[in-house]
Structures are given as structure tokens and as C-alpha cells.
Amino acid sequence: MFEKKISTAIGRYFPLFIGWSRYILYKHPDWLLRKDILKYYDSVSPSEINEEQAEAVSYIRKKGAHYFPYSFIEKYNPEKIKVYTNEKCGLKYVLHNEKRLYFARETSAFNIQRIYTNLLYEQDRKSAHCYQTETFRIEEGDILFDVGAAEGIFSLTVIEKVKKVYLFEVEERWLEALRETFKPWQDKVEIICKYVSDTDSEQTAKLDTVIKKLSNESLFLKLDVEGAEKLVIKGANEILTSGNNKIKAAVCTYHNQDDHEELSAIMKDLGYRVSTSPGYMLFKQQNLAPPYLRRGLIYCSKE
């Protein structure tokens, strides 16, 4: 009985913890980290600091160490976000571009306001975490592979444009919400509850295996997998080099200290043009080390 109560409590309060932790990491300033960052950059010659780093350091100096250390985050206010409930299924949602974006069943309205605010930070066009730019974006008729879909906000944003979406997500708490979010487009959305890696098994899938039947298609790969991006690319080597498809890939590079350099080199070796998202991030989940600021994404394209 005691174990059951503990399990129930974890299930009830874990989403609350996740929402609060994300809000603190993204919005709440870390003053201890600020001290270390400023000490480092004050010791560096100004000639070694680029304009985007200088802007981030200036913001950190005034506002503390934020996940996105730029003033654009200040235009978002979680208290202004309206949260609705679908009485039929019991799930809560927000309206994202006039479309319903659902959240895990246990998530409170208060938490949803904070989580959705974090998502807006991420996908602001000035954010280092934004998957699209004015020139690098989903085009009409693309097939999207959303690897690390979470709540599915990126796929929902572009759902009318794409020909088909493959959503890869393994967290059970998101699956019900994803199915509800994409119910109006279920004819062109496939949810795959597996990790994407360089092997095929009961728990993992290679993109080469999933994509092998597609040819002469325009593909968009979004890779945001908590630092496992290299494994995903390794498992997509055949499709990335075959020349049978027009491919774009938005690849996260902030999870590990050297990801930006290593992933950029990998994609260039595969013949891709590589550019970097604007600005920097402070990925506070990991033990940060100088120079602290990390690049968020690379945009890779190959005609």
C-alpha cells in the first residue's frame, strides 16, 4: 500500500516538478553562475569576444544568468497565457497559432503557462533554439521527421504545410497529449514510440530504416535528442548520403560542450552546407565550463 501511494504521488507531482524546473532553468536568473561567467569574460580580451557573446554577457551582468541571455525573453508573460480544458477528454491545452496544443494529463494550468512560455522562448526567431529561419524552413509538401517531439509544438506549427509527419517520442506521459493534438491531421501523422539511434531494436529505430522507402521526396529532419544527435546521424548515414532526396536538418548542438564543432564537422563531411542559429544559450542542466555560452543549433541543407 505504501509503495502504491509513493508511486501515485510521483505520478501526480512529477509533471509539476518538470514544469517548475524548466521555468527556473529558462527564466529565473542564476546569480552564482553569473559570478563565474562574469569572472571568466572579464579576464578575456575584448577582441576575443564576438558581438553576440558581448550582448549575452551584458544581459547576464544586468539580469543574471538566464537560459536564453537576451532581452527578447522579456516580451513573454506566462500569466497572459490562457489555458483551456477539453471536457470530452479531460486534457488541458493552449491555442498555438489558433490550433490546440495539448499537455500531459497531470499538468496543472499554472504549469502549462510556464512550460508554454518556455516553448515560446525557444522558437522565437531571435532564439538560438529556433528550428527555422527566414531562409531555412519547412516548405510546402515536405516530410518532417520530428525526432524528440515532446509536446509536438514544432510539428503543430507547420502541420498544414507538410505532406507527412513522423513524431518520435518515448515519454509515455506525452503520447496521449500528442494523439489529441494531432487528431485533426491523423491521416498524415505517425507517432513512433522509440528512441532514434544507430541500431534497430524493440526500443530503438534507425532513420535509415524508417526512411528507406522514401525517394525523390523533400525531407526535413529536426534532431533534439538530449545529446544523442551523433547516434541519430550515424543511423541516418545512408539516407543523408544517398542523393535520392532533398534534405534539410536542424540539429541541436547545445547539450554537450563540443557538440557545435563536432556536429558541424560531421555534417560538412557528409556534404552539407552548415550555418548556425543566432546567439547563445546557457544549458544549465549540465556542469558548465568556460566559455559557458553554447551555440544552440546548426542548419544543414543539401539539394
- What is the model's pTM? 0.87
Nearest one of 134, 124, 129 to 150, comparing CA atoms: 129
> What's the pLDDT band for 12 if we cut at 50, 70, 90?
very low
- Statement: residue 8 has pLDDT above 50: no
- Quote the CA–CA distance of 85 and 87 in Å, as a whole number: 6
- CA angle, 248 then 254 then 118, to 5°: 90
- CA angle, 162 then 168 then 173, to 5°: 120
58-97 per-position pLDDT tens digit: 999 999 999 999 999 999 999 999 999 999 999 999 999 9
C-alpha cell at 77: 508573460
CB 214 within 8 A of CB 242: no
- 94: three-class secondary structure by DSSP: strand
Q: Can you tell me the mean pLDDT for 4-16?
A: 43
C-alpha cell at 185: 491531421
pLDDT for res 286:
61
Q: Can you tell me the mean pLDDT for 221-235?
A: 95
Measuring CA to CA, how many Å separate 282 from each of 14, 66, 113? 24, 7, 22
If phi > 0 it is left, if psi is from -120 to 50 it is alpha, else beta; for residue 276 that is beta
DSSP 242: S
164-183 per-position pLDDT tens digit: 999 998 888 889 999 999 99
234-259 per-position pLDDT tens digit: 999 999 998 877 999 999 999 999 99
265-279 per-position pLDDT tens digit: 999 999 999 999 999
Q: Given the C-alpha cell 536542424, which residue does it identify?
A: 250
CB 29 within 8 A of CB 120: no
Phi, psi of 273 (to 5 degrees): -80, 130
| % pLDDT > 70, the chain | 89
The residues spanned by each domain of the chain are 2-102, 125-302
CATH superfamily placement of domain 125-302: Vaccinia Virus protein VP39 (3.40.50.150)
187-209 per-position pLDDT tens digit: 999 999 999 999 999 899 999 99
The sign of the CA dihedral 152, 14, 294, 261 is negative
